[in-house]
């Protein structure tokens, strides 16, 4: 469908807690080794939020960095989307961030799609801009999964870390549209492979019962999630390339959800994208869920690897199960 507007991606920012937890630190908690974790996942360190640091704090820092880079007034934002599975408040945390950054005219809401959340948020925001409904949007991906990991479970606790990343997207003339293609998917039949599920505890209340409990820590079937990622991610990127009238050779950078180095390598290999074009920072952060893609983008842009005009293929995948890809051109007429 032809939409009246295009979009440009004009600012990015990221934040991570200062506290690190190394593979060596984990050997004091569970039976594992630095060597096992590094060879199976590529992860060496992860950042962990201490109790005084909130999801809103991390997300606000990332959002402010993105606003500074884009050099725009927060009051000019029309939309704030917070992709997270770990809000400070189950009613939503986006509006608190909206208030803290001074986006007085924006509407703000949370979006939950686990590790695919940033891609789902980017596409959702772009739709509002491309239809002409709004002009400027802020999309944040942020998660503090350390609060929901079972630190006695060596199959999962080695994987995750905390962080936030944010991007500013602006409406542009259709001819300058930088969102070249996208595809989003979900399959709830596979939900049980990766969950952070509510566990009700039945309690008597008047003439009935209620289920007041809490969330059970993350449960994951690692092998099934691995298999899912290495088959579905190349497929969805190939479809997205096709939609964008591009081939893998047109891609300057592959920026996948930073789950596991073996997944990154396998997807790149299947797409015949050379290793030099694959962005990876998971050694230092682990899997930061909805934050991982904007965090990796922000670092690579800051280092000058990704430059304005470069074509980036991104893909998120994770719980739901959900997955999706977006191919876009970074930057507009500003200098980084
Ligand atoms: N340290 C040491 N040994 C470990 C371990 C750890 N941290 N975790 C598991 N093991 C053991 C298992 O108990 C098992 O031992 P056994 O053979 O005696 O039973 C052995 O290692 C192999 O376990 P397995 O689960 O088959 O390992 P794997 O090769 O599949 O690697 C993952 C495990 C989690 C690294 C891998 O499955 C993976 O990366 N999956 C994708 C997960 C993911 O990215 N999730 C997030 C998506 S958003």
pLDDT digits (tens, 9 = 90+) for 212-242: 999 999 999 999 999 999 999 999 999 999 9
Any idea where the domains of the chain sit in the sequence?
A: 6-176, 179-189+219-329
Q: What is the mean pLDDT of residues 264-278?
A: 98
Quote the tokens at residue 176: 């300058």
* Summary mean pLDDT of the chain: 97
Active site residue 257: yes
What's the CA gap between 279 and 297, in Å, rounded?
8
Question: Choosing from 23, 177, 257, 260, which is the catalytic residue?
Answer: 257
Ligand 1 within 6 A of 223 CB? Answer: yes
Which pLDDT does position 333 carry in this prediction? 57
- 3-class SS of residue 283: helix
Taking the centre of ligand 1 as the mean of its atom positions, its distance from the CA of residue 299, in whole angstroms, is 28
Which pLDDT band holds residue 332 (cuts at 50, 70, 90)?
confident
Question: Where does the pLDDT of residue 335 fall: very low under 50, low under 70, confident under 90, or very high at 90 and above?
Answer: very low
CATH of 6-176, one of 1.10.3720.10, 3.30.70.20, 3.40.50.360, 3.40.47.10: 3.40.47.10
Q: With beta carbons less than 8 A apart as the criterion, state whether 19 and 161 touch.
A: no
From the list 231, 272, 273, 266, the residue with the least C-alpha distance to 252 is 273
Question: pLDDT digit string (tens) for 137-192?
Answer: 999 999 999 999 999 999 999 999 999 999 999 999 999 999 999 999 999 999 99
> What is the model's pLDDT at position 336?
31
Cα Rg for the chain, rounded, in angstroms? 19
Token readout for 251 is: 């891609």
Q: Average pLDDT for residues 107-136, to the nearest whole number?
A: 98
The percentage of the chain sitting over the pLDDT mark of 70, rounded to a whole number, equals: 99
How many A from CA of 31 to the centre of ligand 1? 12
What is the tens place of the pLDDT at every residue in 25-74?
Answer: 999 999 999 999 999 999 999 999 999 999 999 999 999 999 999 999 99
Is 287 designated active site?
Answer: yes
Total residues found in the chain within this entry: 336
SS3 of residue 89 by DSSP = coil
Q: 6-176 and 179-189+219-329: same fold? A: yes
Task: State in Å: Cα 222 to ligand 1 middle.
Answer: 6
Question: Which fold does the domain 179-189+219-329 belong to in CATH?
Answer: Peroxisomal Thiolase; Chain A, domain 1 (3.40.47)
For residue 293, give the nearest of 318, 308, 314, 312 by alpha carbon.
314
> What span, in angstroms and rounded, lies between the C-alpha atoms of 1 and 68?
34
Q: CA 329 to CA 160: how far, in whole Å? A: 29
Q: Is 36 helix (H, G, I), strand (E, B) or coil?
A: helix
């Amino acid at each position: 469908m032809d939409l009246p507007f295009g979009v440009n991606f004009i600012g990015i920012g990221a934040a991570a807690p200062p506290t690190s937890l190394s593979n060596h630190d984990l050997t004091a908690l569970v039976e594992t080794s630095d060597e096992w974790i590094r060879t199976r996942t590529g992860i060496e360190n992860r950042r962990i939020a201490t109790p005084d640091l909130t999801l809103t704090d991390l997300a606000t820092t990332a959002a402010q960095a993105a606003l500074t880079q884009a050099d725009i007034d927060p009051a000019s934002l029309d939309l704030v989307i917070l992709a997270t599975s770990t809000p400070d408040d189950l009613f939503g945390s986006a509006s608190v961030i909206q208030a803290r950054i001074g986006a007085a005219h924006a509407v703000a809401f949370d979006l939950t799609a686990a590790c695919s959340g940033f891609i789902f948020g980017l596409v959702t925001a772009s739709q509002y801009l491309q239809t002409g409904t709004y002009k400027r949007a802020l999309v944040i991906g942020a998660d503090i999964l350390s609060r929901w990991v079972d630190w006695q479970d060596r199959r999962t606790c080695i994987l995750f870390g905390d962080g936030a990343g944010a991007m500013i997207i602006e409406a542009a003339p259709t001819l300058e549209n930088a969102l070249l293609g996208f595809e989003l998917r979900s399959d709830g039949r596979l939900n049980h492979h990766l969950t952070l599920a509510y566990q009700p505890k039945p309690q008597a209340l008047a003439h009935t019962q209620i289920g007041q409990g809490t969330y059970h820590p993350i449960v994951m079937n690692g092998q099934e999630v691995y298999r899912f990622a290495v088959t579905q991610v190349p497929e969805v990127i190939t479809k997205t390339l096709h939609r964008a009238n591009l081939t893998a050779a047109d891609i300057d950078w592959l920026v996948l959800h930073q789950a596991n180095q073996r997944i990154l390598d396998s997807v790149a290999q299947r797409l015949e994208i050379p290793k030099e074009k694959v962005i990876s920072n998971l050694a230092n952060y682990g899997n930061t869920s909805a934050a991982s893609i904007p965090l990796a983008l922000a670092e690579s842009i800051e280092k000058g690897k990704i430059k304005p005009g470069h074509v980036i293929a991104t893909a998120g995948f994770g719980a739901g199960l959900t997955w999706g890809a977006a191919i876009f051109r970074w930057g507009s007429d500003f200098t980084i």
